Structure 1
Amino acid sequence: IGRAISVSALTTAAGFFALMFSDFPIAKSAGFLSFVAIILCLIAAITVVPAFLIITERLNTRSR
């Protein structure tokens, strides 16, 4: 699952990265912001989400 998420996010980010070479300032800004947002979401999906799932599972097993 991690590989699929990473490849998907990186190919999408690469597409938005290409917009940064546009002559239009709005397209450059949109490309940059989208690129950064997708990379940050990828980092969160790889680090924060698994940690959150582990913590919630531990809390659920303690309450039983």
Structure 2
Amino acid sequence: MTTFLNHLTVLSVLTLLSAPALYGLHRERRTDRQLRGAAAGRSGAEGVRVRTQKSSSRSTVPSTATW
């Protein structure tokens, strides 16, 4: 039983120490994928379309701030 707890302790410490590194690696790979997509002329990562707003559809309501 003691050996099992020792193995479990080592495994949990290893998980706690490697989790941030694995998360950072995943985030960096996603950023690289987005940069490659932008360089190739696609908008967004993995084919996600970004909706752009035309200047004629912008709101023309004047500001009501009276400072």
After TM superposition, the score normalised by the length of structure 1 is 0.47
Higher relative contact order (CA 8 A, sep 6+): 1
After TM superposition, the score normalised by the length of structure 2 is 0.45
Q: Higher helix share goes to which structure?
A: 1
Larger radius of gyration: 2
